[in-house]
Amino acid sequence: MSTPFPLGQPAFVTHVLDRAAHLRGNDAKLMAMEERGDTRAYVVHRDSLLVKHEAGGPRAELTIKEALALGANPGTIFLGLRNSAAVFGMGIGAPAADKLAGRTDAGLAELRGLAMQGALPVEQLSAIAMAKSLVNWHQRHGYCANCGTRTAMAQGGWKRDCPSCKAEHFPRTDPVVIMLVTRGDQCLLGRQKQFPAGMYSCLAGFVEAAETIEDAVRREIVEESGILCTDVRYYMTQPWPYPSSLMIACTATATSDDITVDLTELEDARWFSRDEAAQMLKREHPDGLLGPHPFAVAHHLLGRWLEGQS
Amino acid sequence: MSTPFPLGQPAFVTHVLDRAAHLRGNDAKLMAMEERGDTRAYVVHRDSLLVKHEAGGPRAELTIKEALALGANPGTIFLGLRNSAAVFGMGIGAPAADKLAGRTDAGLAELRGLAMQGALPVEQLSAIAMAKSLVNWHQRHGYCANCGTRTAMAQGGWKRDCPSCKAEHFPRTDPVVIMLVTRGDQCLLGRQKQFPAGMYSCLAGFVEAAETIEDAVRREIVEESGILCTDVRYYMTQPWPYPSSLMIACTATATSDDITVDLTELEDARWFSRDEAAQMLKREHPDGLLGPHPFAVAHHLLGRWLEGQS
């Protein structure tokens, strides 16, 4: 299968920005960088990106001038430096977003679709995920959780301060475990109701308070499928900007067979043979069943197992 | 060195509760469980635990009746089941906490000290960490970050709901990387200003938005010490309830030598030989330097390296 995401490299993991965190507190320098000609910005609206439509395809990396002209909010979040040039994240309000509807030269496009189609350079996706996570966080965290007062952005967008109780609020990153459970030549995959028709993928769930990664894997698998697991091993992580998760990909070995699906979480969960899983990844399954997209780390967990590497 | 935490088992990792998440939404059942004689609660105040002083030492596991009689707030957080008996977390307000000062049969004791001294059964620490993380979270998250309205506890304490904008808020767990960086027979350790005199430990830092574990390790090490790293490998995780972190312990190999300490983060960072590190863990260093306590995963990262396992 042709894919822009080689094995072991799902979307959002190719890190190219120098986060240059020491500049976050330097307002004068950040403002000066906004004025430079080589500065770029990604503009986020909910799950979509503002793109310019060009002959070569959509362009998400805009100049600050282009972003403002298209209605982006003037507040910027400093993402870091790429080859010494500054990259910012920006948001766009609903009225400005609505006004884009009639334009042919620019518009909003869903990030997931852009990434799945390979419409954006793979090496930009990590910075775009950063922009999306942070812009979404600011939009949903404008008030102090400690006292209810309106908070103010600080540290180039990496903090919000409460003027009243002085609480500091930092962007959240939620650890999530996602795991390929196998038993001999079979693997356990499940279906969430909102998945595309016929698609099955690895089970996943949030790591809870005071829980290790390994315990979270075992708990989620037993909660969702009734299957008991052992030998949990870490494979890799994928940042997942929906809204701001850290997907911690693991493998585990089942010690039981009988599946009891938790129907509040999943629509179905089944054992698949190696042959079937390969057909699903190659989109050649006789019943039209599909595996996860190469954009998601679940694809790489499965692919690695099928290649005998785990 | 005698320690209640064997190699590979720092504090807060020994998981004994069944979280029984399916009961969180069942208010009637949770209330009925509060009435049962075998139900227990941990009562948290900031970084301290409410304990009964008994002949055998402090007892943190209280009956609900004991907790209420000592001034704990009546709101409970359902932590899970231990041998079919319910375990809850409870908070205690500042006035009630102050009233405990004069008592000899009970009082507040700092969790860190209790754990370091081995004063509590090791198998209780995971549930205590859960209580601490969740009680602290509720105390600091009483308002909706989206609209500023007072929120209400839901799902047995595993959620807060906004009655106004309908936003749902979940307890946060912040992923943190902590890593042992080695270069041949030397390891890199640093000192934070607030450490006890002479103590050095592994460097650590929060995983940021849209960052993999491996990138976070490399970034934190270069930011704090100027050292470049490769070959980052996951070892284990330790839940760290200060206030609610997931410590992701890794090893990495340095590819440079010259240390430049970031003095905003650290007081010092140095290369230590294997021999010195062993003396520091054994508390036999000629200059009185100390390694991390067995309670912390940093101790286990170091111990494992000294034993030649990594």
Q: Residue A214: how many CB atoms within 10 A of its CB? A: 21
CB contact under 8 A, A210 and B142: no
Contact B12 A134 (CB under 8 A): no
**List of chain B residues whose C-beta atoms are within 8 Å of the C-beta of residue A149:** 148
Higher pLDDT, A32 or B16: A32
Which of A15, A49, A133 to mutate against chain B (most B CBs within 10 Å)?
A15
Cβ(A180)–Cβ(A204) under 8 Å?
no
Q: Do residue A213 and residue B167 have CB atoms under 8 angstroms apart?
A: no
Test A241 with B210 for CB contact under 8 angstroms: yes
Å between A286 CA and nearest CA of chain B: 36
Which of B280, B310, B265, B292 has its CA nearest to residue B196?
B292
User: Has residue B249 got a pLDDT over 50?
Assistant: yes
Q: Which chain A residues are within 8 Å of B239, Cβ to Cβ?
A: 209-212
Chain B positions touching A209 (Cβ under 8 A) are 129-130, 133-134, 137, 171, 173, 239, 241, 244
CA distance B161 to B201: 40
CA angle A77/A79/A81 to nearest 5° reads 130
- In degrees, rounded to 5, the angle at the alpha carbon of residue B108 between the alpha carbons of residues B107 and B112 is 140
Residue in B171, B206, B236 closest to A209 by CB: B171
Nearest-Cα distance to chain A for B102, in Å, is 30
The count of other CB atoms within 10 Å of the CB of residue B151 is 25
Whether the link from the prior residue into B243 is cis, omega within 30° of 0, is yes
Contacts of A274 by beta carbon, 8 Å cutoff, 6+ apart: A185, A186, A187, A305, A306
Rounded to a whole number of angstroms, the distance from the CA of A249 to the nearest CA of chain B is 11
Q: What residue ranges define each of the domains in chain A, with the CATH number in brackets?
A: 21-140 (3.90.79), 141-171 (no CATH), 174-306 (3.90.79.10)
Residue reference for tokens 């308070």: A209
Is residue A208 within a helix (H) or strand (E), and if so which, with residue range?
none
Q: For chain B, what percent of residues have pLDDT higher than 90?
A: 93
| For helices A274-281 and A297-306, angle between their N-to-C axes, nearest 10 degrees | 130
Residue A36 carries which DSSP code? Answer: S
Q: Closest chain B residue to A241 measured between Cα atoms?
A: B210
Give per-residue pLDDT as tens, B56-86: 999 999 999 999 999 999 999 999 999 999 9
Question: Nearest CB to A239: which of B22, B174, B210?
Answer: B210
Q: Is the pLDDT of residue B2 over 90?
A: no
Q: Is A118 on the interface with B (CB under 8 A)?
A: no
For an interface test with B, the pick among A208, A213, A221, A248 (most B C-beta atoms closer than 10 Å) comes out as A208
Which residue on chain A is closest to B168 by alpha carbon? Answer: A140
Q: Say whether B21 sits in a helix, a strand or coil.
A: helix
Structure tokens at B38: 């075998």
Q: CB burial class (10 A; 0-12, 13-18, 19+) of residue A81?
A: middle
Q: Under an 8 A CB cutoff, do B173 and A140 touch?
A: no
pLDDT by residue (tens digit) across B158-191?
999 999 999 999 999 999 999 999 999 999 999 9
Tell me, what's the pLDDT at B147? 98
Give the DSSP per-residue string, A171-215.
---EEEEEEEEEETTEEEEEE-TTSPTTB-B-EEEEPPTT--HHH
Which residue in B150, B208, B239 is closest to A211 by CB distance? B239
* Band of residue B309 on the pLDDT scale cut at 50, 70, 90: confident
Q: For residues B134 and B17, is the Cβ–Cβ distance under 8 A?
A: no
* pLDDT number for residue A39: 98
Query: Chain B closest CA to A190's CA: distance in Å?
Result: 19
Of A147, A172, A174, nearest to B143 by CB-CB distance is A147
Q: Residue A6: pLDDT above 90?
A: no
Checking if the pLDDT of A5 tops 80, the result is no
- pLDDT value, residue A293: 94
Tokens coding B101: 């000062």
Angle between helices B297-306 and B274-281 (to 10 degrees): 130
pLDDT of residue A4: 58
pLDDT of B209-223, one tens digit each?
999 999 999 999 999
Q: Does B137 touch chain A (CB under 8 A)?
A: yes
Q: Residues A43-94: pLDDT tens digits?
A: 999 999 999 999 999 999 999 999 999 999 999 999 999 999 999 999 999 9
- Interchain CB contact of A136 with B (< 8 Å): no
pLDDT at B306 over 50: yes
Q: What pLDDT is attached to residue B16? A: 82
Given phi > 0 = left and psi -120 to 50 = alpha, else beta, which region is A220? alpha
Q: What pLDDT score was predicted for residue B14? A: 84
**Option in A145, A212, A246 nearest B143 (CB):** A145
Which of B144, B147, B172 is nearest residue A172 as measured by Cβ atoms? B172
CB A295, CB A5: distance < 8 Å: yes
- pLDDT over 60 (residue B1): no
A298-307 pLDDT tens trace:
999 999 999 9
Q: CB of A162 within 8 A of CB of A169?
A: yes
The Cα–Cα gap between A15 and A34 comes to 22
Query: Is residue A2 over pLDDT 90?
Result: no
Task: Please say if the pLDDT value at position A8 is more than 80.
Answer: no
| Amino acid A232: pLDDT | 98
Reference A149, options A141, A139, A138; nearest CA is: A141
**Residue B25 pLDDT more than 80?**
yes
Mark which residues 216-255 of B lie under 8 Å from A by CB: 219, 223, 234, 236-239, 241, 244, 246, 248
**pLDDT, tens digit (0-9, with 9 covering 90-100), for A267-300:** 999 999 999 999 999 999 999 999 999 999 999 9
Q: Which of B73, B210, B59 is nearest to B139 (CA)?
A: B73
Q: What is the pLDDT of residue B310?
A: 72
Tell me which residue of A214, A248, A212, A233 sits closest to B126, measured CA to CA: A212
Q: Do B143 and A140 touch (CB under 8 A)?
A: no
pLDDT digits (tens, 9 = 90+) for A244-271: 999 999 999 999 999 999 999 999 999 9
The structure tokens listed for A301 are 């967990």
pLDDT of residue B4: 58
* H or E element that contains A69: helix A64-69
pLDDT tens per residue, range B77-131:
999 999 999 999 999 999 999 999 989 999 999 999 999 999 999 889 999 999 9
Residues 6+ apart with CB under 8 A from B222: B228, B229
The CA-to-CA distance between both ends of chain A, in Å, stands at 21
How do residues A113-171 score in pLDDT, each as one tens digit? 999 999 999 889 999 999 999 999 999 999 999 999 999 999 999 999 999 999 999 99
Cα gap A290→A284, rounded to integer Å:
8
Q: Give the number of residues written for chain A.
A: 310
Two structure tokens written together for A128: 């775009």
Across the interface, of A13, A173, A215, the residue whose CB is closest to B175 is A173
| Pick from A19, A99, A117: nearest CA to A60 | A117
pLDDT tier at B5, thresholds 50, 70, 90: low
CA–chain centroid gap for A158, Å, is 18
The predicted structure's pLDDT at residue A288: 97
- Whether the CB of B166 is below 8 Å from some CB of chain A: the reply is no
Per the model's pLDDT, the better-predicted residue between A8 and B230 turns out to be B230
**CA–CA distance, A133 with A127 (Å, rounded to integer):** 10
Closest Cα to residue A177, out of A222, A132, A134, A138? A222
Q: Report the candidate in B248, B246, B250 with the shortest Cα–Cα distance to residue B174.
A: B246
If you average pLDDT over residues A203-214, what whole number do you get? 97
